[in-house]
Amino acid sequence: GENVEQHPSTLSVQEGDSAVIKCTYSDSASNYFPWYKQELGKRPQLIIDIRSNVGEKKDQRIAVTLNKTAKHFSLHITETQPEDSAVYFCAAGGKGSQGNLIFGKGTKLSVKP
């Protein structure tokens, strides 16, 4: 089955700096790669996703890149703000009718003002 590795587990940046979180996956059949943000005690919220027919996708300060050959994808947050502080999860999956999403272990991002 699919296995997703996520790094780093914790990341601390100064407000205004960029943050990069990286994930690798094992199943080459996976074709859907979402990123979720989870604030303490709340449900995960989708912030951006990418499908395997696209190499890069951007939405304001957030971007995701995908390298299918190397089986890795990354989240980039520019001009970080304190409200970006949360746990971020990557996931991979989407194949077949089940399309189970397998999540990485998460990255706790802290943005210091």
Partner 1 sequence: GAVVSQHPSRVICKSGTSVKIECRSLDFQATTMFWYRQFPKQSLMLMATSNEGSKATYEQGVEKDKFLINHASLTLSTLTVTSAHPEDSSFYICSARAGAGGTEAFFGQGTRLTVV
Residues binding partner 1 (CB under 8 A): 31-32, 34, 36, 42-46, 49, 51, 89, 93-106, 108
State how far the alpha carbon of 20 is from the alpha carbons of 14, 48, 82, in Å: 13, 14, 16
Maximum CA pair distance of the chain? 44
Identity of the residue, 68 or 108, whose beta carbon is nearer to partner 1 in the bound complex: 108
Half-sphere exposure of 57 (CA within 13 A, CB side): 16
Residue 101 or 111 having the CB closest to partner 1: 101
> Min. distance of Cβ 86 from partner 1 in angstroms?
13
Distance (Å, rounded) from C-alpha 34 to C-alpha 86?
Answer: 16
Q: State in angstroms the smallest separation of the CB of 81 from partner 1.
A: 22
Is the Cβ of residue 96 or residue 113 nearer to partner 1 in the bound state?
96
Backbone torsions φ then ψ of 91, nearest 5 degrees: -150, 155
